[in-house]
Amino acid sequence: MRTPDVRRKLLFTAGIFVVFRIFAHIPVAGVNLGALKTLFSQNQFLGLLDIFSGGTLANFSVMALGLNPYINASIILQLLTMVFQNWKNYLKKESPEGK
């Protein structure tokens, strides 16, 4: 903590966590939160997804709209490249299409 660079990086990381937790509690307008929380409590898979997202899905918060689709899409693409080998060649990082 004595090094200013390390202290600055730790405070930035802590600040990002605080901002994420604040935005995780702001729900999107027009959503029935009671019915949504009931759905997540009854379905084990959705409950697990909610745990991984930090509680943003059950609240249908602003953070769930921005972060979760990107993470899910990248995981699905990684799994599909294992199934379809020609996608692996097409999505290589060296090719212009992969970038």
Element (H, E) at 62: helix 62-66
- Least confident piece of the model among 12-16, 20-24, 54-58, 76-80: 54-58
Q: Between residues 62 and 93, which one has the greater pLDDT?
A: 62
Question: What is d(CA 85, CA 76) in angstroms, rounded to the nearest whole number?
Answer: 14
Summarised one tens digit per residue, pLDDT across range 30-73 is 888 888 888 888 988 888 877 777 677 777 877 777 767 777 77
pLDDT at residue 11, rounded to an integer:
94
List of residues 6+ apart from 21 with CB closer than 8 A? 54
pLDDT band for position 8 (cuts 50, 70, 90): very high
pLDDT > 60? residue 88: yes
Q: Which residue has the higher pLDDT, 63 or 98?
A: 63
